[in-house]
Copies of this chain bind each other. A is one copy, B any other.
């Protein structure tokens, strides 16, 4: 086995092409080993085995600097730069993150997890090199799917300005997470079909030199192409035609499902982990399909992550023109839904909280200044969401809730979520965002309001005294537990409030609490800085009310254990009761 002997990239520079091909077999085996047991990004890595080998064969990392877009395809890079054990041995699986990570290795330059950033980040490395008078190669790797993102296109346009060595490797596997969307993909297809020769060429139109590699999973072709551009004096694109999921037929045949995988059985490709029967993705998909059938003006919009609202291939086809995947293009998506709402449509845009960050200005300028009644569904906005440092769901409240005109709602149960969603789609007054609960699908038989147009009216769900608990969104259940413990332990029946609205205060309720409460506790599933609780603290600032805000500390956390984070932030009933003085 060759992989066992690779401690640094230098070790593979001694191998023949035949040996490099054997190494590729080893690498795929290691990938299958880890991915089938732990899960992770499958398709992007399996398709980029040969290219990574060729990159490290030709270039001299870390002097030459390789930056990977999203870096979800960097598993092979990690194997070849001293971290093979994390793929070969189960006891070392947790030694590495799923993305490039400068804390792990000098061969990694950035923590990267969002798409479309590699060209711009790498251009900075190149610019600094030029300022210092150094001469190393700087290489940005980017997938075709990521090319549609605004930052990538800005970077592609800027690259020509460097006028020095800058190599952009486009890993074109003809797929985003789902299929690609947008006109540029016609051009990539033309380029593939003409063996890179067609005159109309996006990359040349961006002022860049261009090299095409027809067999992007052939090490020798790749090495020759990289040798050709090594030490190039001008920016150049190397366009690789690769196969996503290469080497595992089940994945090659169903690329979308195998972009990312849970632990699976290698023989059958079946998941080893059973997934929850009921989840908000699928429930939302069902709901929206019904809405669409009843109203041709309802349209669901996603940016490359259709499954966040359950839009499987089947639902996408059934929805027809009432479903739009804009590809990786969140900025475009928000502006477009603003326009759809302006012209009488009923648009619903959904994405992960972490990706909503990519479109702050559009939410503010294109949507909220214009107060167009579009609906935004914010997924995995929670400490229970994705736990990679680049995909945290704990920052959306400060980011979004301080934008004027936006109504940001925090449902506490399944029934409340769908009541809010339905109200939002049918109203024509406000841009509305809904923070989907992330603590499982919790049902309630309590009646929920159908109309949320009386803004910022909080709901008192338990009338008590002395202490009021204002428990936001999916921390409402934590509020219930806290109320129970307060009663049991301190014989205090507190008031419990479901605030529902993240974006405003129910001043009359807050005033009325002053009558027979001395303490207010706020709970929110996100960072405290700039968040919901601080608004309550400000309101009560000049009064005698004691206010305790509970939520998360402002910090980037990586691959965390949820329970540990909750403990650290005193987000348990026991710890809260110990803190407060009543």
Contact B207 A182 (CB under 8 A): yes
Q: Does A342 have its Cβ within 8 Å of any Cβ on chain B? A: yes
CA distance A549 to B539 in the complex (A): 9
CB-CB < 8 A to A337: which residues of B?
A: 124
Q: Does A321 have its Cβ within 8 Å of any Cβ on chain B? A: yes
Q: Which of B132, B151, B206 contacts A150 (CB 8 A)?
A: B151
Q: Does A370 have its Cβ within 8 Å of any Cβ on chain B? A: yes
CB-CB < 8 A to A534: which residues of B?
A: 530, 534-535, 537-538
CB-CB < 8 A to A358: which residues of B?
A: 360-361
Q: Does A200 have its Cβ within 8 Å of any Cβ on chain B? A: yes
Q: Which of B123, B161, B542, B543 contacts A339 (CB 8 A)?
A: B123
CA distance A114 to B113 in the complex (A): 28
CB-CB < 8 A to A326: which residues of B?
A: 154, 158, 161
Contact A158 B129 (CB under 8 A): no
CA distance A402 to B77 in the complex (A): 33
Task: Using known A-B contacts A332-B155, A401-B530, A537-B534, determine if residue A131 contacts B345 with beta carbons closer than 8 Å.
Answer: yes
Q: Which of A417-445 contact B (CB under 8 A)?
A: none
Q: Which of B124, B184, B297 contacts A205 (CB 8 A)?
A: B184
**Most chain-B Cβ atoms within 10 A of its Cβ — which of A125, A359, A529, A555?**
A529
**Copies of this polypeptide in the complex:** 2
Contact A122 B339 (CB under 8 A): yes
Q: Which of A331-376 contact B (CB under 8 A)?
A: 331-332, 335-345, 347, 357-362, 364-366, 368-370
Contact A148 B155 (CB under 8 A): no
Contact A161 B184 (CB under 8 A): no
CA distance A363 to B125 in the complex (A): 17
Closest to A328 in B: B154
Closest to A140 in B: B339
Q: Which of B117, B128, B296, B528 contacts A345 (CB 8 A)?
A: B128
Contact B398 A342 (CB under 8 A): no
| A residues adjacent to B (C-beta < 8 A) | 65, 67, 102, 109-114, 117, 120-133, 148-151, 153-161, 181-187, 199-202, 204-208, 296-297, 299, 321-322, 324, 326-327, 329, 331-332, 335-345, 347, 357-362, 364-366, 368-370, 389-390, 395, 398-399, 401-405, 527-531, 533-535, 537-538, 540-543, 546-549, 554-556, 580-581
Closest to A204 in B: B200
Contact A157 B161 (CB under 8 A): no
CB-CB < 8 A to A65: which residues of B?
A: 343
Q: List 22 A-B contacts (CB under 8 A).
A: A117-B365, A121-B342, A121-B366, A124-B342, A124-B345, A127-B345, A128-B339, A128-B344, A131-B345, A133-B296, A148-B154, A158-B332, A160-B182, A161-B182, A182-B207, A183-B208, A360-B360, A365-B390, A528-B538, A529-B535, A534-B537, A537-B547
Q: Which of B102, B148, B206 contacts A184 (CB 8 A)?
A: B206
Q: Which of B336, B390, B530, B581 contacts A530 (CB 8 A)?
A: B530
* A578 CB to nearest B CB, Å: 13
Task: Using known A-B contacts A128-B339, A555-B404, determine if residue A183 contacts B206 with beta carbons closer than 8 Å.
Answer: yes
CA distance A507 to B205 in the complex (A): 55
CB-CB < 8 A to A341: which residues of B?
A: 124, 128
* A17 CB to nearest B CB, Å: 33
**Most chain-B Cβ atoms within 10 A of its Cβ — which of A151, A155, A181?**
A151
